[in-house]
Amino acid sequence: MKINRRNFVALGAAGAASLAMPSIGRAQGANVSFMSFNFAEDPNRPFIQKVVEDFKGSSGITVEPIGSAWGDMQRNILLRQRSRTLPQTAQIQDRWLPAIAQMQETVDLGALLGRPAIEEAIDPGALGLGLVANKLVGLPLISGSVGFVANKEIMAKAGIAKVPETIDEFRAALLAVRDKVPNSVPFGMATKNPSSIPLDLMLLVWAHGGRLVDDEGKVVANSPATRAAFEFIAGLMRDRLVAPEIDRPDARRLFAQGTCAFYIDAPAARTFARSFSGRGEAADAFVLPMKTPILRAGDSPRSVEWGQVISMFATAPVAADAPVVRWLRNFISNGVQTTLPLQLGGLPTTKSGRASPIVRNDNFLKDWAAAVGVTRKHEIGVWSNGPELSTILSEEMQAALLGQKNANAAVDAIQSRMEQSMARRG
């Protein structure tokens, strides 16, 4: 899906930090509307519902949660913009924010909530999740990284004695799972959703020493490293080590139900494993964060910077104590920050939340931190034309997976098409 390419005018604060913007799509009977992809997920819906109910209990303000699947979130927001039914607030993946920031309805939260107060509350390492061109257009909610996860029980069934560290060891482990665990998908790599494919592809390109788009926005996909990554990925499909038509939700279920040995996810992997396995916290025993496989000894394992923010949409100013403003502030309260981020599988974004004993004593998060390696920003989602770049990558990777193009042709097409997209972006 192509993003709206109108030249949006940045939304100012009219010089007053005491002004907010009211709803354009508030549900009848509710004080605030909130679109959330976690609310659309069975394992996470109760956590969002409790935040809504607790907030109503303490403030008397009614919030209407609106569920939208993660993969449909950007499209739904843009459709609601066109129909003038945007929610007042929405849960946004950090890498979507540059595109969301172009919308004229997106509120500058630094002006609304007071940038100094936000900087005092939010950990410096998490503040950047909500910034676009140094404007705070997302209130950081949860932070972490995206990397590889291993299922220890399936590894044991396949006779894999240790977590694979190199690309060669990883492939050998996948072959063992294929041959020794019937009806398995050894690697739950995303192969069908343009919102999911680029992330998995990007990690494997990085592992081979390549890049797709550099920090200045130059397309650099046409390299020997990227070609090698595509050949590796095509080989995985050819040897039945990955499967067609797999999206992140599919991989999570397969992993939790004992038919997928490895996949890529955020720390939320633990929450999904607990729910989809039906084993609750007992599932923690098989969920193992692992370092991204490296090409050769001495390379640094990579992971993708990850987080979620809360953005606000509106069209006219209202008072600073409006219900929507109180709802926003609630997300960085101690009560929310010491519960919700951990329930969703990540770290709090506030200084006080990160300092709490419940965070410091979480062994899973300690293991995750040890497996992170070197984080890098998502190379596609940070650009305003990210949805179009994601579509290009997905189409070309699928062509390579299905044998419609060889690795060289797919990479050549990515370079050409992405250069054209970045040129149109300006």
CATH number of the structural domain spanning residue 188: 3.40.190.10
pLDDT at res. 195: 86
pLDDT at res. 426: 65
Backbone angles phi, psi at 376, to 5 degrees: -140, 145
Does 396 fall in a domain? yes
For 87, the enclosing helix (H) or strand (E) is none
Does 230 fall in a domain? yes
Statement to judge: residues 134 and 167 lie in one domain:
no
Does 382 fall in a domain? yes
Length of the chain: 426
Rounded Cα–Cα distance for residues 114 and 42 (Å): 35
Statement to judge: residues 105 and 253 lie in one domain:
no
Q: How many domains is the chain built from?
A: 2
Statement to judge: residues 285 and 356 lie in one domain:
no
Statement to judge: residues 222 and 276 lie in one domain:
yes
| 294 alpha carbon, distance to own chain's centre | 22
pLDDT at res. 318: 57
Statement to judge: residues 163 and 101 lie in one domain:
no
Contact criterion met (CB below 8 Å) for 272 and 343: no
Q: How many of the other CB atoms lie within 10 Å of CB of 181? A: 21
Statement to judge: residues 391 and 247 lie in one domain:
yes
Biggest alpha carbon–alpha carbon distance for the chain: 65
Statement to judge: residues 95 and 111 lie in one domain:
yes
Phi-psi label, residue 345: left if phi above 0, alpha if psi -120 to 50, beta otherwise: left
pLDDT at res. 272: 94
**pLDDT, mean of each 10-residue run, the chain (426 residues):** 31 30 48 96 95 97 96 92 96 91 94 94 91 94 95 98 97 98 97 92 97 95 97 97 96 97 95 95 96 94 94 84 95 96 91 91 90 90 89 96 94 98 88
Statement to judge: residues 59 and 80 lie in one domain:
yes
Statement to judge: residues 96 and 162 lie in one domain:
no
Does 2 fall in a domain? no
Smallest CA-to-CA distance from 155 within 185, 176, 184 is with: 176
Q: Name the token pair of 96.
A: 């979507």
Backbone angles phi, psi at 229, to 5 degrees: -65, -40
Domain extent, residue 364, equals 19-143+306-372
